[in-house]
Amino acid sequence: MNSPTLVGTRLRQLGDAPLLLLVATGVLLGSMLPMSRVARAEGWSPLAFAFWPALGSGLALAFAGARGSATAPEARPVLTYSLIAGVLSVAVPNSVTFIVMQSVGTSVTSLVYTLPPLFTYAFAWGLGIERYRPLRLAGIVVGLGGAALLVLGRGMAGGSGSAWWLALALCTPISIAAGNVYRKLRMPKGASASLLAGGMLLGGALALLPLLAANGGLTRPGMAGWTVILAQCVFTSLGYRVYFHFQRVADPVYFSQFGYVVSATGVLSGLLFFNEHLTLPMLLAIGVILAGIAMVNARAP
């Protein structure tokens, strides 16, 4: 094997490395958490910031996927998949996250991204996709206990209103988990990763459009504001392109771990750039959630 071929082979192997894809997916998609705070400062509403990056990156990825496909997949399954996956994986979690973040901060909101693996296993087990494993079931209970502790701890620190916001934030991991299971069951055959990613983002944007129009948020003047949107479109396009490739390379349990990197990215950005801090109840809740995660991912001897 000559040198250029060997280098190309090693680069492809590196591009398929699950750990590298895990970190890349989590960091790129986690960028939306601090960027949403910047967008808010530039005058964007949470719904607008959920809509415009989904629309822009969705168009870019769908165009790239359509051009790169040797054979065109069936249109109806792709359209149905795009709309449902877009609602579950883009529209609901992103809009809820950006709305809640304005009240409870980046660090606290980021912690809900540790929970999708727990809900994903619960849904998959309930539907018969995953077999019954007592340790994993116990891990789900422990992880949900950590989530409840996080809500209660935040309520004691910031008042009952803060607890209600964090309880609303739990819609994010539930919706993401439902999207994970749906994609496992209904992903169309023969469609490229770019086309599937673009279709899902466009489906999410379409679902957000009526809400955005009703709130008068379709336009926002200002070059600085549009620069933020453009930057997030780049992060989103790269993130979801890697996301779908990662989903094909890794097993479902390993794939779900990218939420922890998203959470870590959000927490670190809150601590470094937005002068946030972690309280003792939050640290205790993180420890309980991590214990539940370890139980869910533990392999039986």
| Confidence bin at 3 (pLDDT 50/70/90) | very low
For position 200, what pLDDT does the model report?
94
For position 253, what pLDDT does the model report?
63
Interval 151-183: pLDDT, tens:
666 555 555 456 788 788 889 989 998 998 898
Interval 226-272: pLDDT, tens:
999 999 999 999 999 898 888 777 766 667 778 778 887 887 888 78
Q: Is the pLDDT of residue 122 over 90?
A: no
Measure the CA–CA gap between 257 and 11, rounded to whole angstroms.
23
**What phi and psi, each to the nearest 5 degrees, are found at residue 232?**
-70, -30
Residue 228, both tokens = 């933020």
DSSP 240-262: HHHHHHHHHHS-HHHHTTHHHHH
User: Global pTM?
Assistant: 0.80
In eight-state DSSP terms, residue 278 is -
Measure the CA–CA gap between 86 and 216, rounded to whole angstroms.
22
Instruction: Put residue 191 in one of left, alpha, beta given phi > 0 → left and psi -120 to 50 → alpha.
Output: beta
Task: Give the gyration radius of the chain's Cα atoms.
Answer: 19
